[in-house]
Structure 1
C-alpha cells in the first residue's frame, strides 16, 4: 500500500490545481448547511483509489465522513453505491471533482488491468505495467494496477536497469552494455531488451537473467522461449492488445508488459448525488 504522505501530496496538488483562490460556486451554499450523499458507479468496475478520494474530502473539511461499502480491488456492479458521505455541503461540493477524478481514473486503470488479467487466466504469465503513466500519478496508477490483479514493473529509472535499443547502440553492444551496468550498478536488477534471436543469444551468453522481447511475433516468441530453455525470465512487449494477449501468454513467456493499462485508460463513470433533505440518513 502507498504511504499516507504520498496520497496526501497527490491530493494537495490536485486540490490546489482545482481550487486556486477558493471555490466561488460553493460560496452560494449556506456555510452551516450539512448534507448527506452517495457516490454511485454507473457501470461495473474494479474499484481503486478510495484513500485518495477520502483524503480529498477530509482535506477540505475534517468534518466530512466517508463510509465505504466496497474496498479497493472489489468488483462493483453497475448502479451500486460505492460510499456514503456526510458533511458540510460546501466542503463536499469543493472536494467532489478531485475525489471523483482520482476514483474514476484509478478505477479505470484497475478495470483495464483486470480485463487483461482475466484474458490470460489459466496461463503462467503475469501482466505488468510500464512507465507510460499519467504525469504525477505514477505511484497511484501502479497501485491501481495491483488492485486489478496486475504486477508492477520498475517504478522509475532508479530501481532497475533496463538496457534498451539506444543504450545498447551507445555502448556498442549488448555485452558491453551489460558489463558497464554490472560495474556501475552491481546491486541494481538488470533487464535487457532484444529485438532478434541473435540478440537474445548474446544476452543469454552474458548471463542476463531477465530479457524483454520487443515486438516479437507469436512464432518469434515461441522460438525465443525454446532458445531460452528456462535460463532467463522472458517479458513480451509491444503490439499486445486484448485480442492477442492470451496467444502471447500461451507462448510460454513469464511476463507481458502493457502500456495501455495506464496510458489508454477510460475513466469509469461515477457520480456523486446529494440525498434530498427529507430523506436524510444517519451515517455511522
Structure 2
C-alpha cells in the first residue's frame, strides 16, 4: 500500500470519527434544552401520580421539563396554538416531548418561533432513554444545568387568548343561515350551510350568515380556564365543546354535553334540543 493511499484512508477515518462526534454533540445539546412534555395518558381523571413518576424519571436523567400539558390542548384552536408557542418562546422552551403512556414512547421535536417542527429528532421507549444517554455521553460526562430542576411537575393550566363576550342564552337559529366549515354530516340541519374558513368575518356577514359553528377539543379544565366557560366541569378529562359565534360581534355561546364525544352528535343534539 503506497503512502498516498495510507494518508487518504487515515484522513477519511478521522473525518468520519469527527462527524460522528459532532452528531452526538448535537443530540446531547438538543435533548437537554428546556422542554415542554405533552402527554397522552391511559387515565386522564387522575394524572398527578403518573406525571410525578414521569417527572422523577426524566429529571433524574437531567432533562429540564418546564411544563406538562395534555397533548390535545396544544391544538385546541389556531389561536391557542399560537399563544402557547409564543409562551414557549418567552420561556426559552425549545423542545416538545410527546409522551404516550400506552406505548411508553417519548418523541422529541424542536420548537421554532411559530410551531412545533413536523420532523422529530429522537424517538425512544421511556425505559431506553437512559441507555441512549449512556451511549451518547462519555461515562464521566454529565449534562450541566445552571439551575435546579423543578422538584414537581407543573401542569400548564391555560393559554392566554383574547376573550370575547359570552352569549348566555341559547341563540334561536331556526330561521338563521348558520355557517359550518366542517364536512357535511348525514343528518345535518337544513339551515346549516357549508362555508370556507376565513379570517375576515365580514365575508360571512356579506353572505347573510349571522352565525358560524365550530368545535373545540381539549381537557375540561384547560378549556374552562382558557375560554372562561363556567359550565364546564373542572377536571382533566378530554371533551368537545360546540361554539356558536356571531359573525358581527364575535360573541360566543358554548354548548357542552358530557356524554357526547363526536362533533356530529354534538351538533345534532344542539339543533334538536328545545
Q: TM-score range by the shorter chain?
A: under 0.3
TM-score (structure 2 length as normaliser): 0.24
Structure (1 or 2) with the greater helix fraction? 1
Larger Rg: 2
Question: Does 1 or 2 have the higher relative contact order (CA < 8 Å, sep 6+)?
Answer: 1
TM-score (structure 1 length as normaliser): 0.23
